[in-house]
Amino acid sequence: MLIERIYDEDLAQASYLIGCQANGTAVVVDGRRDIAVYQELAAKNGMKIVAVTETHIHADYLSGTRELAAATAATIYVSGEGGPEWQYEFDGERLFDGDKITVGNISIRAVHTPGHTPEHLSFLVTDGAFSDQPGYLLSGDFVFSGDLGRPDLLDEAAGGIDTRFEGAKQLFASLRDKFLTLPDYVQVHPAHGAGSACGKALGAIPSSTIGYERLYAWWGPYLTANDEAGFIDELLDGQPDAHAYFERMKRENREGPAIMGERTPLAELDPVTVAEGLAEDTLTFVDTRPHGKVHEGTVTGSLNIPAGKSMASYGAWVVNPEIDKNPLVLLADGREQAQELWDHLIRVGIDNVSGYVTTLAGLPLSTPRLIQPEELETFDAALVLDVRNRTEHAAGHVPGSTQLSGGRVMWHLNQLPAEGTIITYCQSGVRNSVAASALRRAGYNIVELDGSYAAWAEHQNLAASTT
């Protein structure tokens, strides 16, 4: 048996290819939309992908299940659990608790583990050529290394009302009745790692075991004491802000993400043509450089979506493809990087990219306004906006600032003053630059706090030490 973990550093998301080496067939679990990685991995191991499935209706990225099935003719399997309000709306075989997917000598048994979502499945994997007992659990967003999938996303991002409490109770029951009934030796392979917004304290370790989590996870003592109330309180306390784009992901994943098919490689565009499109507001420019470079000068009206590990998330913070219909133009150092950047964007449903340029020459440029920490106290601002998470704000913030996380700000513009200057900051400046660029493009008068909260705190400490 082959189990390969495909990890996306951008979204801290893990998908899996499980293959039977005896007959050369494989299944992909929780795949993403840029599917070449699965096709190449299957081909490398002489396997054909015959089945695709997922643990639940995802909220943080757009599922590649339909995309991969369309490209490989694989059978789709999705959860049929959760009741009528949580059913997938596209064709596929429905899985219920105890149902199995068979791939050669491998048996993959669905285990209904609600809590993070009502329809959530985990998958118990048995290598029939080695044993008749399961040795692996793909736990999806149910159990992570050292943490659990948050049960409040349906409230935060899918329009639920107080569903977090029922979800927390379901998680407690799923742990007690399903997870902890398994042998300690069973390996646990979760769908997310550190950095994901699907939990509050995910470990970076790629896998664990039933026994290790039983002994050392924070929730273990609550289960041992059968303390459901204490468990719920601890689980719900301190969860990070949910990104507003999660609502779109949840809805599109339920309905069935659009199938792109084979994508035409991005073309390098003529800067003159791009400049004309920007002037006519028929194109949107994406500056993919770090915020320090952007602060030296950028394309007027551009979005700063920096290349790197969080590009998909940052892109979804500031581009809503259901509203923003302009094709994107990416700044890239060549076609290979442009394609890679596009791969990141399609993971959150930002498909409409017309091409790329390799230079800012010939494009309209402007320099974002900055304010130094020592100037902040005397600056007449209509609002000082903290775009960090609420937990960061609670731990320390610029006095008088208002918290609205970068992943939510463009969905809550009604909370911002229509007139006057808004000063924005995050922790170091990266998230702030993303949010500030979108606010500038939307017409707000934005001044960024240079160095953000870290620089302001350093200035305060220095001032205190000299008095």
- Per residue in 29-46, pLDDT (tens digit) is 999 999 999 999 999 999
Q: Looking at residue 200, what is its pLDDT?
A: 72
Average pLDDT over residues 395-414: 97
144 lies in the same domain as 84: yes
Give yes or no for a contact between 432 and 448, defined as CB atoms under 8 angstroms apart: yes
CATH number at residue 410: 3.40.250.10
Residues 313 and 408: their CA atoms lie apart, in Å, by 12
> With pLDDT > 90 as the criterion, what percentage of the chain qualifies?
91
Q: Is the pLDDT of residue 162 over 90?
A: no
State the residue range of the domain holding 217: 2-255
Average pLDDT over residues 176-185: 98
For strands 328-331 and 353-357, give the pairing: parallel
Total domains, the chain:
3
| Alpha-carbon torsion (353, 354, 356, 359), positive or negative | negative
161 and 63 belong to one structural domain: yes
Give a yes or no: residue 263 inside a domain: no
Name which of 351, 311, 426, 391 is nearest 12 in CA terms.
311
Q: How confident is the model at residue 430 (pLDDT cuts 50, 70, 90)?
A: very high
- Domain assignment present for residue 266? The answer is no
Looking at the structure, do residues 251 and 294 belong to the same domain, yes or no?
Answer: no
Q: Is the pLDDT of residue 378 over 90?
A: yes
- Are residues 12 and 108 both part of a single domain? yes
pLDDT band for position 198 (cuts 50, 70, 90)? confident
Residue 85 has pLDDT above 90, yes or no: no
The phi and psi torsions of 14 (rounded to 5 degrees) equal -115, 130
What per-residue confidence (pLDDT) applies to 138? 98
Q: Is there a contact between 340 and 375 (Cβ–Cβ < 8 Å)?
A: no
What pLDDT does residue 203 have? Answer: 79
**CB proximity list for 180: less than 8 A, separation 6 or greater:** 210, 214, 223
37 plus 184 within the same structural domain: yes
The amino acid that residue 432 corresponds to is: N
Residues 88 and 34 in one domain: yes
Task: Report if residue 306 sits inside a domain.
Answer: yes
Q: 21 is written with which tokens?
A: 């080496």
Is 212 among the domain residues? yes
Does 30 fall in a domain? yes
Residue recorded with tokens 């960061």: 392
pLDDT at 160: 63
Asked whether residue 275 falls in the same domain as residue 402, the answer is no
Does pTM top 0.85 for this prediction?
yes
Mean pLDDT of 15-37: 97
The domain boundary residue, chosen from 196, 231, 255: 255
Same domain for 444 and 327: no
Q: In terms of domains, do 250 and 279 share one?
A: no
Higher per-residue pLDDT: 244 or 160: 244
d(CA 29, CA 50): 12
Any domain includes 262 = no
Residue at a domain's end among 195, 228, 255? 255
- Measured CA to CA, the distance from residue 326 to residue 82 in angstroms comes to 37
pLDDT in tens, 308-365: 989 999 999 999 999 999 999 999 999 999 999 999 999 999 999 999 999 999 999 9
Residue 265 forms part of a structural domain: no
| 3-class DSSP state of 108 | strand
- CATH number, residue 48: 3.60.15.10
- Domain-terminating residue out of 315, 347, 366: 366
Residue 264 lies in a domain: no
Give the pLDDT score at 197: 72
Greater confidence (8 vs 160) lies with 8
252-304 pLDDT, tens digit per residue, is 999 999 999 999 999 999 999 999 999 999 999 999 999 999 999 999 999 99
Regarding whether 294 and 206 lie in a shared domain, the answer is no
Q: Is 156's pLDDT higher than 90?
A: no
Same domain for 317 and 380: no
Question: Does residue 413 surpass a pLDDT of 70?
Answer: yes
- 280 and 320 in one domain? yes
Query: 157 pLDDT exceeds 70?
Result: no
pLDDT band, residue 400 (cuts 50/70/90): very high
Residue 204: its pLDDT value, please? 83
Confidence of residue 161 (pLDDT cuts 50, 70, 90): low
What's the N-to-C CA distance of the chain in angstroms? 67
Give the mean model confidence (pLDDT) for residues 379-388: 97
At residue 432 the predicted structure's pLDDT band, cuts being 50, 70 and 90, is: very high
